[in-house]
Structure formats: C-alpha cells, structure tokens
C-alpha cells in the first residue's frame, strides 16, 4: 500500500491545477491512465470564457450562463465561478500560459477575445485554436518542478476504497483507490484522506464524439459504485460542428469559427439557421445541434456545411492554424470552400454531484472538472465555461480539503483480488460489447429522444450489464474490461436519467414531451445506488 496526502485521478486542467496547489502542502499522487497530456483539456480549441474586458460584466456572463442552462443552473455556483474566474486566469498566466493578445491603435496590448454561441460579448481567452493544448503544456511543465508530486502514467483507477465496503463501523468515507498498473497488469492500493476525482467526461459512450479515447466516464462509474450521488446525466451536449470525413471522425471545428462569422449551409447551399433561431449560428449549442439534426433528416444528407471562406485567408490561417491544416490534410481548404460538419457527443453536463468546494456526498472524495456536477451548467453548458469551471473548482477544492483536514484514519486496506481466467478469445467479445453500447447510445439516446427508444436502450443495456459483470468477476482485469464496465454503467445512468425526465429542457429533447414542464421538472435528476 502506498500512502499520500492527496491522490488526484486525472491529468487534465482540473487534476493538474489541484495537484500543483496541493504539492505546496504535502505529497501528491497524480494517477492518469494514459500519457499525462492525454485528456479532453489538450483538445480544447475555443478557449476559456472569463470577464476581462471593460465592455463586459459579471452580470452579463452570469445571465448568459443561466439562459443556456434552461432553468437548472444553481445561481450561487454560477456567480462564484464567474466572479472568481479572473483571479484564476491571472494565476494561469503567471504559470506561463500564453493567451493571444492584440495591439490597440495606441500601441498598448490587451487579451484578444473570441466569441462563441450564447455569449452576449466577446469573452473567450484563447491561444490560436489550440487553447487546451497550450494550457496542458503549461501545467505539465510545472509538474516537473515539484518534488512532492509523483506522476503515475498508464495507471488506471479501478474503484474507490470506502469504509462501508471494508465493513468499518464508522461513518462511510473514501479511504483511497485501487489502481491498475497497465504495464505490469497488477492492481495497487493507494491510501489517502483526500481523493480527488478529475477524470473528465464520457464522450466515448457514443459512437461519434469529439472526445479522445480516455473519456470513458470512469469517475462517474466509480463514484456511483462507491455510493456517491450522481446528477443530471441526461444532459449530454452534442457539439454542432465536428468534421465530417471518413478518416477524421472526432476532429472538432471550433464554435469560434462561427464566432468569427462562419455560416451553416445545407447541401443545397442555403443558410438554414435563420429558420431556427434569431441568433442564427450563434444560438446556444442545443439549438444549433438540433437544427442541424433536423436539416439532415429533412434532406437525407449525411452532413451540413460550415462556410467561413468569405474571411481573408491570412486571417483564417493565423486565427485557426490547427483547423486550417487539419482540414487541408483531408483535402478541404477552408479559405475557399465550406467544411462538411456533423454534430457529435462532446460534453457531460451532469456528473458526480458536488457542493461549491468540489465535495461529493462521500466524505473524503472530491470531484472537479467535467466529471463533476457543481450546478454551473444546468441543462446545457455555455461554450467555454468548462475550462473555467475546472480552474475555479480545483482551487476551491484545494482550499477546502486543506482547511478541513481531519485526523488521518489509520487502517490497513485489503489487497486487490482478481479473477484468474485469461482468455484472449473472450477479449473479442469485450470489443463487440463496447461497439454495441456506443452504437445503441448513438441510435437511441442521441440529440432527439423518445420513450420507446429510451426503453429499447434500457433493455439492451440490461443484457450487456449482466454479461460485463460476469467477465469482470471471472477474468483478470485489463484496462479494456474496466472501461467496458464503466461505459455500460454510465450509459445506464444516462438512460435512466433521461427516462425519468418527462419533458424537454436544454440538451434533453424528447418527441413525447416536447415542452418544458417547470411544475414537475425544475430540478436536478439525482441518482444514487441503493445498498
Ligand atoms: P480531462 O481534461 O478530460 O482530463 C481527464 C483525465 O483523467 C485524463 O488525463 C484521463 O486520462 C484521466 N482519466 C480518466 N479516467 C481515468 C482513470 N480511470 N484512471 C486514471 N486516469 C483517468 N471547454 C472549454 O471550456 N473551452 C473549449 O474551448 C473547449 N473545447 C473543447 C474541444 C474538444 C475537442 C473537447 C473534447 C472538449 C472541449 N471543451 C472545451 C471541454 C473541456 O476541454 C473539458 O471539459 C475539460 O478539459 C475537462 O477537463 P478535466 O480536467 O475535467 O478532464
Ligand atoms: C469549441 O471550441 O467549439 C469548443 C468550446 C467548448 O466546448 O466549450
């Protein structure tokens, strides 16, 4: 058993920001299942929403966030995250983050601000179109400077150790985590009084997603198994504009492209967003994604088109170098032709329910970043509010966990026991199940839902769950098997939450109940495992 003052699971913006602060106070393990940089954070394009301009105000950012959230945001969470943003951004800049600047006519320089859907002002700080990669590099560079931090790459968290599971008679709390060393194939036990889950989202539960392969919803599934409350999993955000190309199914075309004037066209070249919302391409994401879905179904075409070729080529190459190069690599020149795009699963608005300091309902366990549900996003996240939330909550969780330090619970934790069967043929079945889950979630639990489709999904997931459980108990654990187990759990949480919300709100749209029903559903969906 290895003992640390803090265990952080995940190495995106939330986990690394927490780890860098915590290292000032004690020993920190950063457990991450791939390379440190592999994360949703590293893929973020548009940037970080934050009030830094004199023409903007906290009140306006708060209002935009609340409008996008369709009545389900927790106002106090929104207020705190928005107002604490500038200080956290200043901290990130102090660490070396090179946000883009622009020169004013009088020669002074100021931060260059992008615009995205649902924002009433330009307020998105960015580094070209690869903001997340620059943030990740900035934070990773600082990790090496801290002797207190042990980075455990290729280590996958399996399950939390809790007092209840171990049969302790004391109040339930998180005591640490089992971690699979993917290289050795062995499970280690890590012990800490403060365990922070920062494992990001669950895009991989869908067939088409903007997320990288690490986004399999592990943190939510682990927290669920440990008995923590899970909130709002029906609100999965589909990004309207993912590149449509057979060789690049998960490459995002940033909303910032629409912010700089990009327009959406149907297969016949008609600008269709005018039919759907007065804000057209800059309506909030739920509206734009649904409009694209409707246009594709109406015309039978496989994609729509995003056209920004009216902007000067030099501007596009400087502002969107990654998107320009990637599209060009696939034979599409965005400076002279429209980009084919489709919606894809992008962001998990719900997650492990926390308070404003990242504390979950399980003492000793904190959740920060995309894995958490703080109340900021409600039924639909405002673009670029996620990186901001990760930064602010990492700081708040650090403050709370160090302020409230309980005397350590001394206990020996049992070693992991695993099934012994190793059968390579069976691994093929694991992959088939993985594909089946992702396809059925795409077909039945996508942008537009119905009761019938959700029930079908629930039935199929029930069968898959039983099969996966059998594998899990009998076979030696592998990362693939653990991810499959987590995917089926998270898919089930999404479907159960969606079935329970008999209305349409934000990202949850069902043909059977197409209107909002405030009288019955102006509340979060909370699920908690019964023991
Ligand atoms: P992540 O950055 O996803 O990090 C999670 C980490 O946990 C990873 O290191 C992963 O390997 C690790 N992990 C997962 N499971 C385990 C496990 N079982 N054991 C050990 N480690 C594990 N948001 C914005 O605000 N602005 C944007 O411009 C923006 N653009 C985006 C573009 C794309 C293409 C995508 C996919 C997302 C974008 N988002 C954006 C959303 C935002 O990037 C994420 O919500 C945010 O980065 C999440 O940060 P995080 O620290 O919570 O998790
Ligand atoms: C984008 O650049 O379009 C992504 C922004 C976000 O998801 O917040």
pLDDT in tens, 368-395: 999 999 999 999 999 999 999 999 999 9
255 Cβ closer than 6 Å to some ligand 2 atom: yes
Ligand closest to the CA atom of residue 41 = 1
Report all structural domains of the chain as residue ranges with CATH numbers, in order of start.
Answer: 1-235+349-404 (3.50.50.60), 241-345 (3.90.700.10), 427-516 (1.20.58.100)
Gap between the Cα atoms of 435 and 444, Å rounded: 14
Tokens of 264: 């959406």
Q: What is the pLDDT of residue 477?
A: 86
Identify the CA nearest to 4 among candidates 154, 152, 168.
152
Nearest ligand, measured from the Cα of 391: 1
Give distance in angstroms: CA of 256 to centre of ligand 2.
8
Whole-angstrom distance, CA of residue 241 vs CA of residue 296? 13
Tell which atom from ligand 1 comes closest to the C-alpha of 372.
52
Contact 324, 317 (CB under 8 A): yes
Mutation to probe ligand 2, out of 44, 251, 319 (largest number of atoms < 8 A from CB): 44
Residue 408 has pLDDT above 70, yes or no: no
Residue 421's pLDDT is what?
Answer: 64
Could you report the per-residue pLDDT of 468-486, keeping only the tens digit for each?
Answer: 988 888 888 899 999 999 9
Q: Is the CB of 11 under 6 A from ligand 1?
A: yes
Closest-lying ligand 2 atom to the alpha carbon of residue 255? 3
| Neighbour tally for 137: CB within 10 Å | 17
* CB-facing half-sphere around the CA of 36: CA atoms within 13 A: 22
Among 199, 218, 489, which is best to mutate for testing ligand 1, by the most ligand atoms less than 8 A from CB?
199
Give the single-character DSSP code of 449: B
Whether the predicted pLDDT of 420 surpasses 70: no
433 C-beta closer than 6 A to ligand 2:
no
Measured in Å, residue 128 CA sits from the centre of ligand 2 at: 13
Distinct helix (H) and strand (E) counts, the chain: 14, 22
Which is it for strands 365-367 and 186-191: parallel, antiparallel or unpaired?
A: unpaired
Give the whole-angstrom CA distance, residue 179 versus residue 184: 12
Give yes or no for residue 306 having a pLDDT over 90: yes
Q: Is 418 exposed, middle or buried (0-12, 13-18, 19+ CB in 10 A)?
A: middle
What are the tens digits of pLDDT across the range 220-256? 999 999 999 999 999 999 999 999 998 887 899 999 9
Check pocket membership of 222 for ligand 1, CB cut-off 6 A: no
CA of 12 to the centre of ligand 1 (A): 6
| Ligand 2: nearest atom to the Cα of 385 | 8
pLDDT at 427: 73
pLDDT-derived band at 453 (thresholds 50, 70, 90) equals: very high
Q: What is the pTM of this model?
A: 0.97
* C-beta of 200 in contact with ligand 1 (< 6 A): yes
Cα atoms in the 13 Å half-sphere on the side-chain side of 324: 17
Q: Residue 217 Cα, ligand 1 centroid: separation in angstroms? A: 11
Order across the sheet with 365-367: list the strands: 149-152, 28-31, 6-9, 194-197, 365-367
Higher pLDDT, 101 or 420: 101
User: CA 353 → CA 12, 191, 400, 521, distances in Å?
Assistant: 19, 23, 16, 18
Q: Where are the beta strands (DSSP E) in 334-445?
A: 339-348, 351-353, 365-367, 372-373
C-alpha 380 – ligand 2 centre gap (Å)? 13
Radius of gyration of the chain (CA): 22
The angle at the Cα of 217, spanning 353 to 97, to the nearest 5 degrees, equals 85
Ligand 2 pocket check for 256: Cβ under 6 Å: yes
- d(CA 52, CA 269) in angstroms, rounded, equals 38
Neighbours of 510 (CB within 10 A): 20
Tell me which residues are annotated as active site: 285
pLDDT at 169 over 80: no
* 196-218: average pLDDT: 97
Ligand 2 contacts CB of residue 497 (under 6 A): no
Atom of ligand 1 nearest to the CA of 203: 36
For the Cβ of 30 lying below 6 angstroms from any atom of ligand 1, the answer is: no
């Amino acid at each position: 058993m290895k003992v640390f003052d803090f265990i952080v699971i995940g190495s995106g913006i939330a986990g690394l920001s927490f780890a860098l602060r915590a290292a000032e106070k004690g020993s920190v393990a950063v457990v991450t299942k791939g390379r440190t940089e592999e994360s949703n954070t590293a893929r973020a394009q548009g940037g970080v929403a934050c009030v830094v301009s004199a023409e903007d105000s906290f009140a306006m950012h708060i209002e935009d966030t609340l409008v996008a959230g369709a009545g389900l945001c927790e106002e106090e969470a929104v207020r705190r995250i928005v107002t604490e943003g500038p200080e956290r951004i200043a901290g990130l800049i102090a660490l070396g983050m090179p946000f883009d600047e622009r020169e004013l006519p009088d020669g002074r320089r100021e931060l260059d601000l992008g615009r995205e859907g649902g924002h009433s002002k330009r307020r998105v700080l960015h580094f070209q179109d690869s903001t997340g990669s620059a943030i990740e590099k900035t934070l990773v560079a600082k990790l090496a400077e801290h002797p207190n931090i042990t980075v455990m790459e290729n280590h996958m968290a399996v399950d939390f150790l809790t007092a209840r599971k171990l049969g302790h008679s004391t109040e339930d709390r998180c005591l640490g985590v089992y971690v699979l060393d993917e290289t050795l194939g062995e499970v280690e036990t890590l012990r800490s009084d403060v365990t922070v889950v920062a494992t990001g989202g669950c895009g991989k539960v869908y067939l088409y997603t903007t997320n990288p392969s690490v986004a399999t919803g592990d943190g939510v599934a682990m927290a669920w198994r440990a008995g923590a409350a899970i909130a709002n999993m029906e609100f999965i955000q589909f990004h309207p504009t993912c590149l449509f190309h057979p060789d690049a199914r998960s490459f995002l075309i940033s909303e910032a492209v629409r912010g700089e004037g990009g327009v959406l066209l149907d297969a016949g070249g008609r600008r269709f967003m005018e039919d759907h919302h007065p804000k057209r391409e800059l309506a909030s994401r739920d509206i734009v994604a649904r409009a694209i879905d409707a246009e594709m179904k109406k015309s039978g075409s496989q994609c729509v088109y995003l056209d920004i070729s009216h902007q000067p080529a030099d501007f596009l190459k400087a502002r969107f170098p990654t998107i320009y190069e990637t599209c060009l690599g696939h034979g599409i020149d965005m400076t002279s032709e429209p980009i084919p795009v489709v919606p894809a699963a992008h962001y998990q608005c719900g997650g492990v329910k926390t308070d404003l300091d990242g504390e979950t309902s399980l003492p000793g366990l904190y959740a920060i970043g995309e894995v958490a549900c703080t109340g900021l996003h409600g039924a639909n996240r405002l673009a670029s509010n996620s990186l901001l939330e990760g930064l602010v909550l990492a700081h708040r969780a650090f403050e709370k966990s160090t302020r409230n330090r309980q005397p350590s619970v001394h206990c020996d934790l049992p070693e992991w026991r695993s099934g012994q069967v190793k059968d390579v043929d069976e691994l093929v079945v694991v992959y088939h199940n993985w594909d089946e889950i992702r396809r059925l979630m795409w077909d039945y639990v996508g942008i537009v839902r119905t009761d019938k489709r959700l029930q079908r999904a629930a039935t199929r997931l029930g069968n898959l769950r039983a099969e996966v459980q059998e594998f899990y108990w009998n076979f030696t654990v592998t990362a693939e098997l653990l991810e499959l187990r987590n995917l089926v759990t998270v898919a089930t949480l999404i479907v159960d939450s969606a079935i329970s919300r008999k209305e349409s709100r934000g990202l949850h749209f069902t043909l059977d109940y197409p209107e909002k029903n405030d009288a019955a559903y102006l509340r979060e969906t909370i699920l908690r495992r019964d023991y």
